[in-house]
């Protein structure tokens, strides 16, 4: 029997990789909702191809174009943040949360409330909502499966084991395109250089996060919530080849790692087929051709983002959501040419130093913390410029 699937952020890098897998296994899936930000034409093309029940753009100005592009089909077109939540609340056997940023939080929470499997790529949503999201997952009997390659690797390495026996969990990091740059060079890094990742092809925001290492910082917080072993048992190691996707060390001295090509279709397939397995079109890993796997300690002087994230998770409360929102604003400002590369993480720290609101206890609280941090981050950027 075909399973139903919704993809929040269908036009993005993770969304299109997911649809590539669905396309190869068409008879196994029935598509419920596909969503995008403003790319009505791209979304309509996908909705037609996959015969979606509903297509939603977040940007209401794109609704007219979406309606026109879907004319003559029975695909329902809708727009706006509320329509996005409604589409997610239709529920599906699997919902792929692949919107970038905290914008994905409310629709992801709506999907969680329907139970079912949530294949989570949208790390910012979990970073911001933390316990609010994991509590909702438990309350509604949803299954949260990590798509982020590191967390998917850890999830696989934990199968059949008890968290109580875990000595440490190590997230691997490629180190990004500026891994070997000096602080001086980092100060002059351009948006074009930052989005050119050596191993992975990804959306612009996560590419910049990889370059600052804030991606690993967000992933540290993500891991803290997905695998509750305590922050002191979580580590980060730089592994430039991106072949070992993460590792779990057990009390007996055994370390289990998951290896694979640097292609997000592997972790996506793992989540789609879980607890079974499915084929992917990726080339098998050729370790002889790769030759060597190397590892080194991260440098938190050049890349302080992981330190900020570790502190944020230890402090808890509204700190992680504030860090995430400030980072989203700073990354957008950098991509827009308004601030320098090194200013991104500095400005996140500046926002955090100004204090944060009380700990959020529900979705609305998280959204309020996020909004407040955005205002503060923008104020600080204006003051500096």
Rounded to a whole number of angstroms, the minimum distance from the CB of residue 185 to ligand NAD is 25
Asked if 124 is part of the footprint of ligand NAD (rule: CB under 6 A), the reply reads: yes
- Minimum CB–partner distance for residue 188 and ligand NAD (Å): 25
Q: Are strands 3-8 and 29-36 parallel, antiparallel or unpaired?
A: parallel
- The encoded tokens of residue 342 equal 């090194």
Cα–Cα distance for residue pair 97/120, rounded to 1 Å: 5
Which residue's C-beta sits nearest to ligand NAD? 12
Q: Which two tokens stand for residue 102?
A: 């905290």
Where do runs of H (alpha helix) occur along the chain?
Answer: 13-23, 40-49, 63-69, 81-89, 105-112, 123-129, 131-139, 149-158, 183-187, 191-194, 204-212, 214-226, 265-273, 287-290, 305-315, 319-335, 341-353, 363-384
CB 339, CB 385: distance < 8 Å: yes
Contacts of 258 (CB under 8 A, 6+ apart): 152, 153, 154, 156, 157, 244, 245, 246, 247
Scanning 45-53, 73-81, 101-109, 142-150 for contacts with Mg ion by CB under 5 A, the matching segment is 142-150
Q: Give, as ranges, the residues between 67 and 106 that touch ligand NAD (CB under 6 A).
A: 98-100, 103
Residue 203 is a binding residue for ligand NAD (CB under 6 A): yes
Q: Name which of 153 and 157 has its Cβ closer to ligand NAD.
A: 153
Between vectors from CA 197 to CA 194 and to CA 198, what angle results, nearest 5°?
Answer: 135
Give the count of residues interacting with ligand NAD (CB under 6 A).
25
**Binding residue for ligand NAD, selected from 75, 78, 121, 351, defined by CB under 6 A:** 121
Nearer to ligand NAD by C-beta: 85 or 359? 85
The distance from CA 67 to its chain's CA centroid, rounded to whole angstroms, is 29
Within 11-40, which residues bind ligand NAD (CB under 6 A)?
11-15, 36-37, 39
Dist. CA 190–CA 82, nearest whole Å? 36
Closest approach, Cβ 384 to Mg ion, in A, equals 30
Interface with Mg ion, residue 148, by CB under 5 A: yes
Among Mg ion, ligand NAD, none, partner that 360 touches (CB below 5 to 8 angstroms by kind): none
Q: How far is the CB of 149 from Mg ion (least distance, A)?
A: 5
Distance CA 302, CA 185 (A): 11
Question: Given the complex with ligand NAD, which of 170 and 210 has the nearer CB atom?
Answer: 210
User: With contact defined as beta carbons under 8 Å apart, do 143 and 119 qualify?
Assistant: no
Residues 245 to 304: which contact ligand NAD by CB under 6 A?
264
Q: How far is the C-alpha of 348 from the C-alpha of 285, rounded, in Å?
A: 38
Query: Which is nearer to Mg ion, 150 or 350 (by Cβ)?
Result: 150
| Residue 209 vs 249, nearer CB to Mg ion | 209
Q: For ligand NAD, give the closer residue by CB, 10 or 381.
A: 10
State the binding partner of 113 from ligand NAD, Mg ion, none, CB within 5 to 8 A by kind.
Answer: none
Nearer residue to ligand NAD within complex by CB, 12 or 261 = 12
Per-residue CA distances from 168 to 296, 300, 305 (Å): 17, 20, 21
Least distance (Å) from Mg ion to the CB of residue 54? Answer: 29
Q: How far is the CB of 258 from Mg ion (least distance, A)?
A: 12
In the list ligand NAD, Mg ion, none, the entry touching 206 (Cβ below 5 to 8 angstroms by class) is: ligand NAD
Residues at the contact surface with Mg ion, assessed by CB under 5 A: 148-150
């Amino acid at each position: 029997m075909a399973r139903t699937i919704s993809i929040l952020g269908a036009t993005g890098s993770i969304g299109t990789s997911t649809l590539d897998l669905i396309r190869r296994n068409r008879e196994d899936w029935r598509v419920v909702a596909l969503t995008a930000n403003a790319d009505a034409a791209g979304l309509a093309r996908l909705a037609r191809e996959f015969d979606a029940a509903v297509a939603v753009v977040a940007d209401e100005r794109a609704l007219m174009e979406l309606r026109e592009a879907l004319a003559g089909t029975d695909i329902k077109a809708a727009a706006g943040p509320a329509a996005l939540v409604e589409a997610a609340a239709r529920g599906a056997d699997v919902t792929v949360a692949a919107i970038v940023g905290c914008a994905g939080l409310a629709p992801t929470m709506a999907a969680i409330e329907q139970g079912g499997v949530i294949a989570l790529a949208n790390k910012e949503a979990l970073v911001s909502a933390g316990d609010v999201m994991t509590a909702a997952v438990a309350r509604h009997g949803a299954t949260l499966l990590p798509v982020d390659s590191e967390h998917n690797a850890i999830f696989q390495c934990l199968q059949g084991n008890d968290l109580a026996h875990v000595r440490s969990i190590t997230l691997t990091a490629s180190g990004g395109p500026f891994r070997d740059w000096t602080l001086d060079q980092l100060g002059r890094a351009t948006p074009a250089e930052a989005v050119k990742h050596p191993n992975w092809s990804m959306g612009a925001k996560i590419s910049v996060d990889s370059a600052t290492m804030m991606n690993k910082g967000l992933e540290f917080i993500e891991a803290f919530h997905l695998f509750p072993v305590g922050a002191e048992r979580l580590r980060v190691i730089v592994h430039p080849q991106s072949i070992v996707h993460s590792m779990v060390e057990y009390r007996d001295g055994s370390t289990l790692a998951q290896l694979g090509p640097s292609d997000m279709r592997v972790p996506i397939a793992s989540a789609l087929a879980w607890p079974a397995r499915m084929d992917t079109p990726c080339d098998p890993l050729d370790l002889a051709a790769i030759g060597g796997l190397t590892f080194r300690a991260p440098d938190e002087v050049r890349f302080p983002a992981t330190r900020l994230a570790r502190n944020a998770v230890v402090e808890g409360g509204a700190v992680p959501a504030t860090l995430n929102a400030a980072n989203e604003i700073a990354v957008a400002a950098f991509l827009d040419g308004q601030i320098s590369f090194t200013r991104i993480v500095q400005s996140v720290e500046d926002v955090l130093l100004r204090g944060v609101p009380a700990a959020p206890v529900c979705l609305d609280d998280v959204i309020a913390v996020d909004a407040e941090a955005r205002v503060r981050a923008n104020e600080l950027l204006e003051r500096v410029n």
